[in-house]
Structure 1
Amino acid sequence: MQIRVTTDDDWPRVYPFFRAIVAAGETYAYPDGLTSDEARLVWMREPPGRTVVAVDGDVVLGSATMGENRPGRGSHVATASFMVDPAHAGRGAGRTLGTDMIAWARAAGFRAVQFNAVVETNTAAVRLWRQLGFQIVGTVPGAFRSSAHGYVGLHVMHLDLTGDTAH
């Protein structure tokens, strides 16, 4: 498996699983029915942000998009979003994308990574992020309307990249 920056040729292979994951209604609050062009504007980041794909040969297994969590005085904190094609789940693409993002954030000089909205019922993602060192710093009750579970919380998760746990 290789992680590389997304090219224009990758989008037609990313959009089908982007669309399916959003339509499932379990992990992302994006509106249903985004066209390919609308979804591309949401997902694909221009530098200094970064969008990558996890590939095995010519097969796109997943994608991640990353950059500043907030502009200006919040620009020292990174954020990211991840999608793994359900057809390729269980192959380690999420973990590989996650470790790549953390390495990128460190190299880019970010002091932390903050995920603003990890759905609490997305237990696989919560478990992965905790294994990679993230802490749940708060949960917004009922902030996400899950197709399967109704109103559930959104975790705010944080990873300190400074080594200073007392920050």
Structure 2
Amino acid sequence: MLIREATPEDWPTIWPFFHEIVAAGETLTYPTGLAVDDAKDWWYQTPPNRTVVAVNEHSTILGTAKMNRNHMGNGAHVASATYLVDPAHSGQGVGRALVEYSVEWARAAGYRLMQFNAVVETNIHAIALYQSIGFRIGGTLPEGFHHPTQGYVGLHMMYRPL
């Protein structure tokens, strides 16, 4: 698997699984009806932030991540990231590769911490993955997320020193 910078030409491949995941309303705090152009504007980051894709040996896009500064000013030493894995390629280590890549990116860019602001507590696979890479739950906002089938559930703030 190769992780490379996302290009504008990648968007038509990213959009279908981006839309599927966001429209399901189970894991991200994005509007479920986000339009294609707005979604692209939200997803693609400008330097020094990054948007990347994970591709296989056939150049098939398996997943994507956006990595960015989480705070400004005196909190500018904290990075964040968001990940999307094409459901057709889940269970193949794509998420782990993207998370590990983003941790290394943040460390190389001089950040001291990574923080995920809103990890839905029912997203147990993501939580387990993050914890296996050294992230900890720093707190939970009870009923901070309205899950489409489970009702109001908590949002974890997770962090990891770099």
Distance 2:60 2:35 in 1: 22
Structure 2 unaligned regions, length at least 5: none
Name the structure 2 match of 1:106: 107
Give yes or no for contact 2:115–2:157 (8 Å, CA) kept in 1.
yes
User: Which residues in structure 2 correspond to 1:18-57 (within 5 Å)?
Assistant: 18-56=18-56, 57=58
Alpha-carbon shift at residue 78 of structure 1 (Å): 0.1
Alpha-carbon shift at residue 58 of structure 1 (Å): 2.2
Name the structure 2 match of 1:119: 120
Secondary structure, counterpart of 2:134 in structure 1: coil
Distance 1:137 1:73 in 2: 19
Alignment TM-score, normalising by the size of structure 1: 0.95
Name the structure 1 match of 2:3: 3
Alpha-carbon shift at residue 32 of structure 1 (Å): 1.8
Distance 2:130 2:84 in 1: 14
Structure 1 unaligned regions, length at least 5: 162-167
Alpha-carbon shift at residue 33 of structure 1 (Å): 2.0
- Within the alignment, does 1:63 sit opposite 2:71 as a pair? no
Q: Quick one: which amino acid aligns to residue 48 of structure 1?
A: P
Alpha-carbon shift at residue 117 of structure 1 (Å): 0.3
CA RMSD of aligned residues (A): 0.7
Secondary structure, counterpart of 1:70 in structure 2: coil
- Within the alignment, does 1:94 sit opposite 2:95 as a pair? yes
Alpha-carbon shift at residue 35 of structure 1 (Å): 1.6
Alignment TM-score, normalising by the size of structure 2: 0.97
Distance 2:137 2:90 in 1: 24
Secondary structure, counterpart of 1:127 in structure 2: helix
- Residues 114-136 of structure 1: per-residue CA shift (max 9 Å, x gap): 00000000000000000000000
Alpha-carbon shift at residue 29 of structure 1 (Å): 1.5
Name the count of aligned residue pairs. 161
Distance 1:158 1:144 in 2: 19
- Residues 68-125 of structure 1: per-residue CA shift (max 9 Å, x gap): 0011111100000000011110110000000000000000000000000000000000
Q: Quick one: which amino acid aligns to residue 111 of structure 2?
A: F
Alpha-carbon shift at residue 51 of structure 1 (Å): 0.4
Name the structure 2 match of 1:17: 17
Name the structure 2 match of 1:147: 148
Between the two proteins, what is the percent identity of the paired residues? 53
